[in-house]
Amino acid sequence: MNSPTLRSLTLVSILLTLSLSGCGSIESAAQEDCTSIGWNIGSPGYNDCYKARLYERKLDYSLPPGDKPSPSLI
């Protein structure tokens, strides 16, 4: 069970897990934006801030109109 293939597969799975665990969601980033400037979760101002930041972040990560996704080089 000490084959090089098994070791490399284990290493790849560990690296993939670590890289994905660093990625947050758009929702959590919007929440962090609003709480970092002092809004308390659940307050009316927080809800407005959250909705606005969520909308802005979705626009940031969406493709421009008419663009088609291209295949990754990886």
pLDDT digits (tens, 9 = 90+) for 7-24: 666 766 665 554 545 457
Domain ranges of the chain: 25-63
Q: Which residue has the tokens 């088609």?
A: 68
As a dihedral over the C-alpha atoms of residue 27, residue 50, residue 31, residue 45, rounded to 10 degrees, the angle is -160
* Residue 74 pLDDT > 60: yes
Q: What is residue 18's predicted lDDT score, i.e. its pLDDT?
A: 47
CA-to-CA dists, residue 62 to 23, 57, 71, angstroms: 17, 9, 16
Q: Confirm if 50 and 30 have CB atoms less than 8 A apart.
A: yes
pTM over 0.75: no
